[in-house]
Amino acid sequence: MNLSSLPDFKAGVSIHPSHSKMCMVLDENEKALLEGVACKQLFLPAGNDHENCLPGGLAETVLGGKLTMECFPDMIHGWSTRGDLTNLSVKRDIDRAVQLYVQFFKDTL
């Protein structure tokens, strides 16, 4: 998320975002982190991701119109990088996520 505050960055994608938990571990202010974001964001949270990264959460409140979000309630954190592709629902949601972030970058960059 910090990189999204830099002028060279035009868009950011967070698949199963973890910045909320990282802010807690590092004792950083999540609201301040989000307030520094200068470019459009796409969040693709899993069902068990932190509430701040879900609809109605802190990220949506702070980022407002900069944020696009689609939730994957059947997935657990890490599904896009560690998901079992033999599980048809995981494969379905990975395929959907790839489609979403490719289109997001096409539309934003």
53-78 pLDDT, tens digit per residue, is 999 999 999 999 999 999 999 999 99
Q: pTM score, two decimals?
A: 0.94
Q: How far apart are CA 32 and CA 51, in angstroms?
A: 17
Alpha helices in the chain (DSSP H): 19-26, 30-35, 58-63, 79-82, 88-108
Contacts of 63 (CB under 8 A, 6+ apart): 34, 37, 41
What does the pLDDT read at residue 7?
Answer: 95
CA distance 87 to 80: 12
Residue showing tokens 């995981």: 90
| pLDDT for the residue numbered 57 | 97
